[in-house]
Amino acid sequence: MVAIRLDEIDRKILAELQADGRMTNVELAKRVGISAPPCLRRVRTLEESGLIRGYHADVNSRELGFEVQVFAMVGLESQAETELSAFEERCREWPLVRECHMLNGEVDFILKCVAPDLSSFQQFLTGDLLTTPNVASVKTSLVIRGAKDEPGVPFDVLEERMSRTA
Amino acid sequence: MVAIRLDEIDRKILAELQADGRMTNVELAKRVGISAPPCLRRVRTLEESGLIRGYHADVNSRELGFEVQVFAMVGLESQAETELSAFEERCREWPLVRECHMLNGEVDFILKCVAPDLSSFQQFLTGDLLTTPNVASVKTSLVIRGAKDEPGVPFDVLEERMSRTA
DNA sequence: AACGGATGCGCAATAATCTTTCGTGAGTGC
DNA sequence: GCACTCACGAAAGATTATTGCGCATCCGTT
């Protein structure tokens, strides 16, 4: 995981693969303006460097039966590093918790959760989350509707920055 | 986008492609226990039905130069549908806003934002978000560190449910 | 300027995969 | 029992992935 110097082509590759992770290498090569072999080599390098963590199909969770999406703000009794790590480890083990971020401010963690239905989530909330040691407070908010959900990062912002620096 | 009846194999396909979206079709077919042609047909059907929305490379945003990640809780003056839609449309236009979810409770929206650095975010916050008409309050929380960030849904939970129903 | 070394490209060839076509068998309704 | 439907899998040709190699370019050195 060495720091890699990226050029214009690398950034284009990342942007294209973020937009369509299943694009063939020849198509990708065509789009970024080089031939297939060096393009594949660049992709491999980006993967090995950790800049590309992986590729994932974006599945429609609602149609799959996960009707409920919830954000949970969690406050802990103790913010000692041991306690923080312990809580994070718990989160990693709970399948319904998809994301766990430690925050500044009054709330210690924000969790993004999914569940097949409300009762499944309630069960998780009361049975797992609220019974976890050191959890002081949990405030949950149901997602009424999703307005935007773009994976990844805005490459156009990056390009602007680069051109300003250059 | 017709409702599709999924069998065991379809769910396995979704789970595999969620875990590795760039898996070759022959490898996928091997894993789910059928031959390549019907496997590819199933994948195409899943794509056309909208159950697979797309494929995305998971790029390391921090290494790419997006050092800052922020959750913003937004409250609006008016919650009339026109106003809600207007705000959502704004969010779709802001590249730094990656997710926008409408919530129940005291806060109307939660936004997940990224930015190259703090000052970029401050600029967005004071220049764009806070100057948007109808925005009553914004509470932001910096992400100190990420503990878990799994894309997609937990298929093991789904399997449990299926076996219980069957 | 000339010389190496490193880097990265593209061509060509081979291996692997994708994709279509087609024949077959299982299940279903009449 | 007889179509009919549906999905599977084998085969084959088209496309893609991957490797090896020669060449150009860029840099730092002499």
Percent of chain A with pLDDT over 70: 96
CA-wise closest residue to B66 among B100, B95, B26, B104: B95
Residue B160: predicted pLDDT: 81
CB spacing of B3 vs A99 below 8 angstroms: no
Percent of chain A with pLDDT over 90: 91
Q: Which domains does chain B have, with CATH numbers?
A: 8-57 (1.10.10.10), 61-142 (3.30.70.920)
Q: How far is CA A32 from the centre of its chain?
A: 26
pTM above 0.85, yes or no: yes
CB spacing of B18 vs A65 below 8 angstroms: no
Q: Which helix (H) or strand (E) holds B161?
A: helix B155-165
**What is the rounded average pLDDT of the residues A13-28?**
98
Q: Binning pLDDT at 50, 70 and 90, where does residue A160 land?
A: confident
**C1' (C24) to CA (B164) span, angstroms:** 35
Residue listed under structure tokens 């109307």: B108
From the list B58, B104, B143, which residue is nearest A54 (CB)?
Answer: B58
Cβ-based contacts under 8 A for chains A and B: 235
A104 vs B contacts (CB less than 8 Å)? 141-142, 144
Tens of pLDDT, residue by residue over A69-115, are 999 999 999 999 999 999 999 999 999 999 999 999 999 999 999 99
Evaluate the CA torsion angle A128, B113, B99, B128 in order and state its sign.
positive
Distance separating alpha carbons of residues A59 and B6, to the nearest angstrom: 13
Residue A165: predicted pLDDT: 60
Query: What's the per-residue H, E or C state across A11-73?
Result: HHHHHHHHHCCCCCHHHHHHHHCCCHHHHHHHHHHHHHCCCEEEEEEEECHHHHCCCEEEEEE
Distance separating alpha carbons of residues A109 and B143, to the nearest angstrom: 9
**Helix B8-19 vs helix B36-49: crossing angle, to nearest 10:** 80
Asked whether residue B106 carries a pLDDT value surpassing 70, the answer given is: yes
**What is the rounded average pLDDT of the residues B25-35?**
97
Contact with chain A for residue B21, Cβ under 8 A:
yes
Phi-psi group of A33: left, alpha or beta (phi > 0 → left; psi -120 to 50 → alpha; rest → beta): left
Residue B3: predicted pLDDT: 61
Tens of pLDDT, residue by residue over B40-96, are 999 999 999 999 999 999 999 999 999 999 999 999 999 999 999 999 999 999 999
Distance separating alpha carbons of residues A39 and A16, to the nearest angstrom: 12
